[in-house]
Amino acid sequence: MTMSIGDRNKPTMNPTEPEALDQTGQTDQTVVRVENLTKSFEGRQVLRGVDLTVERGSIVSVIGQSGGGKTTLMRCLNLLERPDSGTIRISGSPVFADGKVLIEDLAVLRQRVGMVFQRFNLFPHLTAIENVVLGQRSAAKVPEREALERAAALLKRVGLAHRGLAYPDQMSGGEQQRVAIARALALRPQVLLFDEPTSSLDPEATREVLRVMRELAAEGMTMVLVTHEISFARDVADWTVFVDEGLVVEQGPPAEVLVRPAHQRTRRFLASFDALD
């Protein structure tokens, strides 16, 4: 199903219709619900009680200083990192609670919660199309022919119909990242996480990748986007979350958080980008 931007459900912190809530206080439109998530590395807490809600069809941008815990938060969402405490629900299904992993099949979780990494993480010995086929075959057990057809269609969609037989080291960074996006889309995720997808790209490649992401946004894809592209976040996101030192310091519509931040720490962060006048 495609949605126009106007149909998109904005994330709301105070849903006004109580009958739309289940016992856990989430609407059936909630794709990601994280509560009080903590995670330590070597005795140091890098997530100190994070809450995050992502509604279906919305685009949430996550911003903050390097080292603040953004990547760890993204990795916890599909259990690439195991949290210490707190809860994670994906589309209403409990994934983590009471210190325990509650989902039996991690492959199913990673199908639902797709991820695009900063450094692409393509298999170097596989062509572009093979990279897009592989996850479908292994994680989603898609029949070979269907997986190939889907991969070809997705490479076309990210503007790489002509690059299917190229190996990663024969492609530019922007091309590799677009293959990585096609690979994630191939599993038909309920939400797609992007962790600084353009931070290792030059301006031209950044534009290519942002264009693809903008198209996905317009098609109604639910996305969480960790980014330093502040103007992109302002244009595309419905909701912005500022994370600092393992906590959500402030969140709201981008026109507020990115333009009139309430907190000194947010202001200082944005000032370092010259994002504020």
Ligand X SMILES: Nc1ncnc2c1ncn2[C@@H]1O[C@H](COP(=O)(O)OP(=O)(O)O)[C@@H](O)[C@H]1O
* Residue 208 backbone zone (phi > 0: left; psi -120 to 50: alpha; other: beta): alpha
Closest CB to ligand X among 69 and 135?
69
Q: By beta-carbon distance, which residue lies closest to Mg ion?
A: 71
Q: Is 164 in the site for ligand X (CB under 6 A)?
A: no
Closest CB to ligand X among 46 and 158?
46
Closest CB to Mg ion among 55 and 229?
229
Could you tell me if 128 and 155 are in contact, meaning their C-beta atoms sit under 8 angstroms apart? Answer: yes
Q: Half-sphere exposure of 36 toward its Cβ, with a 13 Å CA cutoff?
A: 6
Closest CB to Mg ion among 30 and 61?
61
Q: Half-sphere exposure of 45 toward its Cβ, with a 13 Å CA cutoff?
A: 13
The minimum distance between CB 246 and ligand X, in angstroms, equals: 7
CA distance 254 to 259: 7
Element (H, E) at 181: helix 173-186
Q: Is 83 in the site for ligand X (CB under 6 A)?
A: no
Using CB distances below 5 to 8 A depending on partner kind, what does residue 177 bind out of Mg ion, ligand X, none? none
Could you tell me if 192 and 222 are in contact, meaning their C-beta atoms sit under 8 angstroms apart? Answer: yes
Site for ligand X in 51-80 (CB under 6 A): 64, 66-72
CA distance 104 to 108: 9
Binding mask 56-95 for Mg ion (x = CB under 5 A): --------------xx------------------------
The minimum distance between CB 247 and ligand X, in angstroms, equals: 12
Q: Is 41 in the site for ligand X (CB under 6 A)?
A: yes
Supply 72's token pair: 């760890």
Which region, judged by CB under 6 A, interacts with ligand X, from 38-46, 131-139, 160-168, 259-267? 38-46
CA distance 106 to 111: 9
Residue with tokens 């590395």, as numbered in its chain:
41
Using CB distances below 5 to 8 A depending on partner kind, what does residue 99 bind out of Mg ion, ligand X, none? none
Q: How many residues of this chain interact with ligand X, rule: CB under 6 A? A: 11
CA distance 194 to 62: 10
Residues of the shown chain interacting with Mg ion in the complex, contacts defined by CB under 5 A: 70-71
Residues of the shown chain interacting with ligand X in the complex, contacts defined by CB under 6 A: 41-42, 46, 64, 66-72
